[in-house]
Amino acid sequence: MKYANFFKKLFGIAEQQTAKEFTEQEYETDYELKVQGLENVLGKMHDLVGHAIISFAVGGAVDMYYFPNHIKGTGFVTMELLEPDGTGPLPNRHGTYELVAFTKHNYEHNSDTQTPFNFIERKVCGFFTTIGDYSRQAIINPNETCEIPNDEGKENTCLIFDLYEPENKKFKIGDRQHHLLLCIQVFRSEMEYARKNGADQLFEKLKQAGHYPYSDLDRAPVV
């Protein structure tokens, strides 16, 4: 992969996992339990799913799942990182996870025009896919930062991660304990501030400004 060495350097040495096959029934049962677990934390999921043309399992983008009933705006979540047996990403200090991100913009179904919602939705899908790919090779913990290279001439995407447990609600799939790893897109100055002063210091500034846990950059930097 083009950015393999970049992520190995950023997150640590890559490890290999042996793929396990599951039945269609196991996937269906897991999906139903996963939806229940997500809705317990994020409220009712939207009926429509943003399906990728090429599936994530064979090298395409992640499907996008939308949660418009949690906080102002829309939540985006992956549902393809965790397998029916709970494996998937290399466990961090909290275990294995799915990814979550937020925008202040309300959900829109119309994808024919470039709107602020459509722009951030595609942006989140891009970094979800990249992080999802490397979550099976690298341990990614809350409070860490990373940069994702973009096309030539474009600035890198700067991210910071956090454990997302609103009101101490934990993400479970059936009886299995997992968690939601929050991805927040930030400005470079904010990422550098977090690296120097600690992620919690940046989170506090974002919260004071009303920008946590959102990934929208149509705002002024807090540092």
Measured CA to CA, the distance from residue 220 to residue 47 in angstroms comes to 34
- Residue 220 belongs to a domain: no
- Residue 215 belongs to a domain: no
Q: Is the pLDDT of residue 45 over 90?
A: yes
The dihedral region occupied by 95, where left means phi > 0, alpha psi between -120 and 50, and beta the remainder, is: left
Q: What is the pLDDT of residue 153?
A: 84
Number of CB atoms found within 10 A of residue 162's CB: 22
Q: What is the pLDDT of residue 152?
A: 85
- Residue 217 belongs to a domain: no
- For the sheet with 97-103, list strands across it: 49-50, 64-67, 74-77, 97-103, 179-186, 157-164, 145-148
What is the pLDDT averaged over residues 110-130? Answer: 92
- Residue 219 belongs to a domain: no
- Residue 129 belongs to a domain: yes
Question: Across the strands, what pairs with 184?
Answer: 160
pLDDT in tens, 133-160: 999 999 999 999 999 998 888 899 999 9
Could you tell me which of 143, 34, 134 has the C-alpha nearest to residue 93? 143
Q: What is the rounded average pLDDT for all residues in the chain?
A: 92
Q: What is the pLDDT of residue 175?
A: 95
- Residue 183 belongs to a domain: yes
Q: What is the pLDDT of residue 4?
A: 42
Q: What is the tally of structural domains in the chain?
A: 1
Please tell me which residue, 109 or 27, carries the higher pLDDT value. 27
Which region among 50-54, 70-74, 150-154, 192-196 has the lowest average model confidence (pLDDT)?
Answer: 150-154
Q: Show the domain range for 139.
A: 4-208
Long-range pairs of 189-197 with CB within 8 A, sequence gap ≥ 24: 189/221, 189/223, 190/158, 190/160, 190/221, 190/222, 190/223, 191/145, 191/147, 191/158, 191/159, 191/160, 193/223, 194/145, 194/160, 195/145
- Residue 214 belongs to a domain: no
Measured CA to CA, the distance from residue 165 to residue 70 in angstroms comes to 12
Q: Is the pLDDT of residue 19 over 70?
A: no
Measured CA to CA, the distance from residue 175 to residue 155 in angstroms comes to 42
Please tell me which residue, 108 or 20, carries the higher pLDDT value. 108
- Residue 221 belongs to a domain: no
Measured CA to CA, the distance from residue 205 to residue 132 in angstroms comes to 28
Question: Across the strands, what pairs with 92?
Answer: 95
Cα-to-chain-centroid distance, residue 78: 7
Phi and psi at residue 14, to the nearest 5°: -70, 150
